[in-house]
Chain A
Amino acid sequence: MDILITAVLIAFLFALLASALWIGLALLGVAWIGMELFTSRPVGDAMAVTIWGSSSSWTLTALPLFLWMGEILFRTRLSEDMFRGLAPWLQKIPGRLLHTNIIGCTIFAAVSGSSAATCATIGKMTLPELGRRGYPEDMTIGTLAGAGTLGLLIPPSIIMIVYGVTAEVSITKLFIAGVLPGLLLAGLFMGYTVIWSLLNPGRIPPPDAPMTFLQKVSTSRHLIGPVALIALVLGSIYVGIATATEAAALGVVGSLALSWMQGSMSRKVFAESLMGATRLYCMIALILAGAAFLTLSMGYIGLPRHLAEFITGLGLAPFWLLFALMVFFIVLGCFLDGISMVVLTMGVILPTIQKAGIDLVWFGIFIVLVVEMAQITPPVGFNLFVLQGMTKKQIPWIARVTMPLFFLMVAAVGLLYFFPAIVTWLPSRM
C-alpha cells in the first residue's frame, strides 16, 4: 500500500514538473500532499517552520556570497587577462592555444562556483581569439564545454554547498576534496588535446609570433589578479583560518577590489552584479525551500528508510549501486538542472549510501562529477545552452563535439572509484 502511494506521489511529481510548474513549487506541492496522506500533524505549520529553518541556516550563507562573487567577476576583464597571461606559455605544447580553454577554466573554476559561468567567462575570450587564428571549431567548442564543467568540481562550488547542507557533510572538507579530482580531470582533458593534436597535426594553426622569456613573464602579470583571488579564497579555507562562508565573504571583497583596480567597477556594474546575484540566489532558494519540505515529508512517509532497506536487501555491490546511480543521474539530467537533481534525490538516497558503507565526502565528489556529465548531455545541459548562445551552433552538434570529453569524465569516475585516495587524501591532511 505504502509503495503504491509512493509511486503515485513520484508520478505526480514528474507530472507537475513536466507541466511547467516552477520546480520549487512543484516540490512543495508534492510534499504537501504526501504529508497530508501520511500524518495527522498540521502540515502547513510544519512546512513554514521547515522552510524557515532551511532558508535561514548559517551554513548556507556561503551560497549567495559565492554567487555574488561570480556575478562580479563575470563583469570584469578577468577573461581577457587570463587569455593574455596564458597564451604565450602554451605555444609549444601540441594543441597550442586549445589549452587556454582548459587551463583558463581550471583557474577560473577556482574562483567561481558554477560551471556555466566558468564556461561563459572563459569562452567570451577564447572563442573569438581561437576562431580568428583558425583553430578547428569542433575542438575549440568541445574542450570549452568539457573544461567548463570544472567550475563545479574545483572549489568553490555551488553544488558542493548544496550537497554539504543536505547531507550534513563539512563544506570545507568537500571543497578541499574536490581539488585533486578537478586537477585530474583537467589533466585528462589536456592529455586528450595533446594526443588529438599529434594525430591531426594539419589542423592546428601555426604559433603566434614568438616572445622572449622576459616578455612572457611580463605578460603573465595579467594572471596576478586571479591567482591572488584563488590564494585568498582557497588558501584561507585550506589553512583553516576561514570557514567556507567567511572565505566567500572575503572573495566578494577581493573581487570588488580586483574589479575596482581594473577600472571596470562602477555604480551600475555594482548594482547589476548585486541584483543578478540576488535573483540567482532567489531562484535557487525557492528550489531549496521546496526540497527541504519534501525531505521532511518523505521522512514521514519513510521512503528513504524503505529504499535503503530494499536496496541493501538486494545485496548489490557498491560498484553496481554507484553505476546504477550514475546512469540514473544522467537520465534525470536530461530534464532537470544540477541543483534540483541533488536536492530532490539526496534526502531519499543518502540512507542507502550510508548503509552501503560509502564515505559521504567521496560520494559528494562522485555526485558533483555525475552532475557535471549531465550538464553536457542533451537535451537539457546548461553548458550546452550557454555554448549555443555564444556560438549559434545547434545543440546536437555541440553535444557531439563534446562527447569525447564526456567519456573522459566517465573514465575519471572510474579512477576515483578504484583510487578513492584521490578524493580523501587531501582532506585527511588538513
Chain B
Amino acid sequence: MRKALDTLYDAAAWAAAFFMVGVLVMVLASVVGRLAGFNLRGSDAYAGYSMAAAAFLALAHTLKRGEHIRVNLFLERFGPKVTHALELWSHAAGTFFCAVLAVFCARLVWQSWTFNDVSQGNDATPLWIPQIAMAAGAIVLFVAMADDFVLHLRRRHPHATKKAETEMKHME
C-alpha cells in the first residue's frame, strides 16, 4: 500500500516535470515560429495548459516533500503536544478542502465535456482534455493529504522533513 501510494505521487511528479518542459517547448516553438515566419496555432494556449498541468500534478509530491508553505509560527513553538494537535487539525481541514477541490475539478471536466466547451483562443481545444490534468492532480493531492492525516493519527512522521534552510533558499 505504502509503495503503491509513493509510486502514485512520483508518477504524478514526473508527469508534472514533463509538462514543465512542455511549457518551455511551447514558448520556444512560438518564438522560433515567429522568427521563421510560420505561425504555430495555439502554442500560447498550450503553454498555459502545460503550466496548469505541471502545477496540479506536482501538488502531492510537493506536499510530501514538505515544500508547500504554511505559517509555522505556532506549529513549532509550544512543544510536541500542541504540534501534534495542530498537525491533526491542519491535515483534517486540508483533507476536507482538497476533497472539495478534487470533486469540483472533476466536475468541471465533466461539464466541459457535456457542454462541449471549446477554448476561446485560436487553438480551439476542447477544454475537458487539458482540464483532466487539473482534476487528476487535485485527486492525487487529496489522496496524499488523507495519507498524511492517517500517518499523523498513527503518530508517524509523514515526511522525512529536510530542514527549512535548504528549501528556503530557493523561495523567492
CB distance from B137 to the nearest CB of A (A): 9
14 new A-B contacts at CB < 8 Å, known A250-B31, A253-B28, A389-B169: A19-B74, A22-B90, A23-B68, A56-B48, A61-B27, A65-B24, A114-B170, A117-B169, A117-B172, A279-B61, A283-B68, A285-B56, A337-B172, A340-B69
**What 0/1 readout, one digit per residue, does chain A (45-88) give for beta carbons within 8 Å of chain B?**
10111011001111011001100101100100000000000000
A68 partner residues in chain B, CB cutoff 8 A: 20, 24
CB of A211 within 8 A of chain B? no
In terms of DSSP, what is the predominant structure of the interface of chain B?
helix
Cβ of A45 and Cβ of B172 under 8 Å apart?
Answer: no
Interface presence of A192 (CB below 8 A): no
| Cα of A205 to Cα of B162 in the assembled complex, Å | 38
Q: Mark B53-78, 1 if CB is under 8 A from A, else 0.
A: 01110110111010111111111000
Instruction: Choose the segment among A127-135, A220-228, A345-353, A378-386 that binds chain B (4+ C-beta atoms closer than 8 Å).
Output: A378-386
Chain A nearest CB from B109 CB (Å) reads 9
Residue of A nearest to B44 (CB): A58
Interface residue count on the A side (C-beta < 8 Å): 80
Shortest 7 CB-CB distances between A and B: which pairs? A389-B165, A285-B55, A282-B58, A120-B169, A48-B108, A44-B104, A249-B27
Name the residue among B24, B54, B166 with the largest chain A CB count within 10 angstroms. B24
Per the bound structure, the CA–CA distance linking A287 and B151 in Å amounts to 25
Band of interface residues on B: 35 or more
CB pair A280–B111 under 8 Å, yes or no, is: no
Q: Inside 8 A of A246's CB, which chain B residues have their CB? A: 27, 30-31
Residues of A within 8 A of B45 (CB): 58
Within 8 A of A (CB), among B95-149: 97-98, 100-101, 103-105, 107-108, 111, 130-131, 134
14 CB < 8 A contacts A-B: A20-B70, A44-B100, A45-B104, A48-B105, A52-B52, A52-B134, A56-B48, A120-B170, A248-B27, A277-B20, A281-B55, A282-B67, A286-B55, A335-B73
Q: Which of A116-153 contact B (CB under 8 A)?
A: 116-117, 119-120, 152
Contact A20 B104 (CB under 8 A): no
- Give the complex CA separation of A349 and B91 in angstroms: 31
